[in-house]
Chain A
Amino acid sequence: GAVVSQHPSWVICKSGTSVKIECRSLDFQATTMFWYRQFPKQSLMLMATSNEGSKATYEQGVEKDKFLINHASLTLSTLTVTSAHPEDSSFYICSARGQPSGYEQYFGPGTRLTVT
């Protein structure tokens, strides 16, 4: 149980285009989903926290208008990288928490974004 999927697993796009990444909890309802960014051989950097039905909370330094997050249902959150640039190339990972008081997070397999 507690499986989180991400789609796509990798994507290559041209500079200036937008890319949408989906994060789904497959067998549980995720009240909260987190979006992380990870550079090679680095730790995970939290970008934003999204709660179903409400606006995402962004971490300091993360541009809200560039990284659009929508958590429309208890099983789906999306991250849209708008007007992507090469510096947005990274590994994006989502995680989901099923219970309001639960501390374990279940991570998706990640999405490798390359902007050319």
Chain B
Amino acid sequence: SQQGEEDPQALSIQEGENATMNCSYKTSINNLQWYRQNSGRGLVHLILIRSNEREKHSGRLRVTLDTSKKSSSLLITASRAADTASYFCATVAADRGSTLGRLYFGRGTQLTVWP
């Protein structure tokens, strides 16, 4: 399976703390994306990192990618209660034979930020 796997499954922190979520995958990728989902809602795209990139920033988000270890991490700095949500990593396979742009989702990390 190309499915990514997030770790931890659940994370509970206080406001102001940093939150780190990890994602591992199994096959060669074109890119890896992180999405956020509030309970009962659709997904919101957070950030995309390509296979030839090692780190990317967007506001309070920092994503790293280690293709040799087939892993990625999402760091949310100075977390807020509004960051409470599920976070999913999704990979796009490098194999051009697969459906272009098909996303393989992990199980997600449920982040709870307490005020």
Contact = CB atoms under 8 A, between A and B. Distances in A.
A79 to B, nearest CB: 14
Q: What size tier do the contact residues of chain A reach? A: 20 to 34
Interface of B: 3, 30-31, 33, 35, 40-45, 48, 88, 92, 99-103, 105-108, 110
Contacts of A108: 42
Interface of A: 4, 6, 32, 34, 41-44, 46, 49, 57, 91, 93, 95, 97, 100-110, 112
A107 B42 contact: yes
> Which 6 residue pairs across A and B have the least CB separation, nearest first?
A107-B42, A107-B43, A109-B42, A43-B105, A43-B107, A44-B105
Given A103-B92, A104-B48, A93 B105 contact: no
Contacts of A6: 42
Dominant SS among interface residues on chain A: strand
B41 A110 contact: yes
B88 A43 contact: yes
A95 B45 CA distance: 11
A59 to B, nearest CB: 9
Dominant SS among interface residues on chain B: strand
A42 B33 CA distance: 18
Given A103-B33, A104-B48, A109-B42, A57 B99 contact: yes
Contacts of B88: 43-44
B106 A46 contact: no
A108 B44 CA distance: 9
A110 to B, nearest CB: 5
B40 A106 contact: no
Contacts of A106: 45
A103 B106 CA distance: 17
B43 to A, nearest CB: 4
B51 to A, nearest CB: 11
27 contacts: A6-B42, A32-B101, A34-B102, A34-B103, A43-B3, A43-B106, A43-B108, A44-B88, A49-B102, A57-B99, A93-B42, A101-B100, A102-B101, A103-B30, A103-B31, A103-B101, A104-B33, A105-B45, A105-B101, A106-B45, A107-B42, A107-B44, A108-B42, A109-B41, A109-B42, A110-B41, A110-B42
